A and B are shown apart, each in its own frame.
Chain A
């Protein structure tokens, strides 16, 4: 009788062990799928972040061309505003921290494409804040008009450029 009870107990324990084993394997499998899904979501988030930062950079009041007090020229960047913006955030830590709230870990570069004005640098790093360890990066380029307001001829004021936005995670 004692032996019979021991067998019964062993059976119960066996069932429990198998049950928890199956639960454990299921949790492991679920975690593995979740890890993949987290990676995909992180990539999606970075893509959205890139769009957000690119939009903000292309419409940044501080660098865009204006015709009058609040009429913006779409996708037009004033070279002198951009240069001054770069100087301000490089010389003023408070200003850099202010724009960091919007641009976070990214690099924003303005590049002349055509016609290239040899008197001006080919590229202008407007903002640069890469993290110490880059796990992921996405770059996007926005075609823009670059305007040099010092040129008297309105037709020659404008050239084609690219605004590169690289976002890190």
Chain B
């Protein structure tokens, strides 16, 4: 009887022992598997980031390029300072990127345009996907023609940008939602209107911008008013400085306001661009002084006051930079033309 009781205790103890050790072993391997999963995700993220980094650098050094890239189907979150894949952030450095907040899908479209004021400052890089839908409303003919020539529209299905032109503003309310991850409405000189079919769409699924200006050509766009969806209407989308309206400086900047999905993204990228403009202007200022000293020719004067105005405007904001550029552009251009005519070194 005593032996039987002892045996029963022994069997029960063995089972408890097996359960504890089994649980321990399972936990151990589960922890290793989890760690390994995290590690391989980080590694994949780092690999993709590294490849994208080289791609951005390679593309960024050439102007007027368009490329459609095959990418792994993982979401890429893009901000003005960095981009993140699997929570692995990668700094963008001074690359100026205009992009929607998230890139999804297997194709990514990259474009570059030079930013000239009138000297070239840098290339602007535009990133988007064929899955993001751009609807351009009430655009003047000249703008439509330039957009058609600039953007990758007539490509194979799923490889070009998804752009639609709506010339009649009364048709805006009847635009249908087509399940795109993001829809960007671009209005020209008209108030924004949320199509009724988008009322149930999440706020991050749609945004709008109103471009205002004279529109004799693309360079005449003067400012962009950014909007985001709140409830069943568009409200001001404010950047980090609290503004929703920002100056547009040239075609490259206008395209940036169209492609980026937030005021914050536009403001941040343009802040980087104007900082670079200040550096380039300072370099040209120093160079013109050094050249003037070296050649001793009084007729070879440069429009340095225009450069000085741009340098001092940088700290006062985008609108002031635009004013300085608008005021100095013609004198900079004529100074360069005169230099060429008189066989002097050019300013830029």
Contact = CB atoms under 8 A, between A and B. Distances in A.
A101 B114 contact: no
A48 B291 contact: no
Candidate in A58, A78, A81, A150 with the most chain B CB atoms within 10 angstroms: A150
Contacts, number: 91
A62 B348 CA distance: 10
Interface string A29-71: 0000000000000000100100110011011011100100110
Nearest to B280: A62
A98 interface: yes
Interface in B1-38: 3, 6, 10, 17, 21, 28
Candidate in B28, B91, B290 with the most chain A CB atoms within 10 angstroms: B290
Nearest to A99: B94
Given A48-B50, A149-B345, A66 B120 contact: yes
A119 B127 CA distance: 46
Nearest to A83: B290
B79 interface: no
B54 A51 contact: yes
Interface residues of B, number: 42
Secondary structure call for the B interface = helix
B120 A98 contact: no
Interface in B65-80: none
Contacts of A63: 283
B286 A69 contact: no
Nearest to A12: B17
Contact of B275 (A72, A80, A84, A98): A98
Nearest to B95: A102
A95 B282 contact: yes
Interface of B: 3, 6, 10, 17, 21, 28, 50, 53-54, 57-58, 61, 63, 91, 93-94, 114, 116, 118-122, 275-276, 279-280, 282-287, 290-291, 294-295, 336, 343, 345-346, 348
Given A1-B3, A69-B119, A150-B295, A84 B284 contact: yes
Nearest to A58: B61
Interface string A13-41: 00010000001000000000000000000
A95 B280 CA distance: 10
Nearest to A16: B21
Contacts of B345: 80, 149-150
A122 interface: no
Contact of A95 (B53, B58, B121, B279): B279
Interface stretch (A85-93, A106-114, A130-138): A85-93
Interface residues of A, number: 38
Secondary structure call for the A interface = helix
A88 B281 CA distance: 10
A155 interface: no
A16 B50 CA distance: 44
Nearest to B300: A150
30 contacts: A1-B3, A12-B17, A23-B28, A45-B50, A52-B53, A52-B54, A55-B61, A61-B122, A62-B279, A62-B283, A69-B116, A70-B63, A70-B114, A70-B116, A70-B120, A80-B290, A80-B294, A83-B287, A84-B282, A84-B284, A88-B279, A88-B283, A95-B282, A98-B275, A98-B276, A101-B93, A102-B93, A149-B291, A149-B345, A150-B291
Contacts of B282: 84, 88, 92, 95
B157 to A, nearest CB: 33
A85 B282 CA distance: 8
A149 B343 CA distance: 11
Nearest to B10: A5
A98 B291 contact: no
A101 B120 contact: no
Interface string A110-149: 0000000000000000000000000000000000000001
Contacts of A92: 282
A81 B290 CA distance: 10
